[in-house]
Amino acid sequence: MAIQTTLAALADPARREILQLLRRRVMNAGELAEATGLSASRLSYHLRKLREAELVTDSREGTTIWYEPNLTVLDDTIVWLKELQRDGAISRASGYDVKSAETRRSVSATRRVAVEPVASGKAKKQGERS
What are the Cα distances from residue 19, in Å, to 4, 46, 107, 127? 18, 10, 44, 46
pLDDT along the chain (130 residues), means of 10: 90 98 97 98 98 97 96 91 82 63 59 52 52
Among 61, 48, 59, 49, CA closest to 7: 49
- What pLDDT, on a 0 to 100 scale, did the predictor assign at position 23? 96
- What pLDDT, on a 0 to 100 scale, did the predictor assign at position 104? 58
- What pLDDT, on a 0 to 100 scale, did the predictor assign at position 125? 53
Q: How far apart are CA 119 and CA 122, in angstroms?
A: 7
- What pLDDT, on a 0 to 100 scale, did the predictor assign at position 22? 98
- For strands 123-125 and 115-117, give the pairing: antiparallel
Contact 19, 69 (CB under 8 A): yes
Phi, psi of 128 (to 5 degrees): -80, 140
- What pLDDT, on a 0 to 100 scale, did the predictor assign at position 85? 86
Q: How far apart are CA 19 and CA 39, in angstroms?
A: 17
- What pLDDT, on a 0 to 100 scale, did the predictor assign at position 99? 60
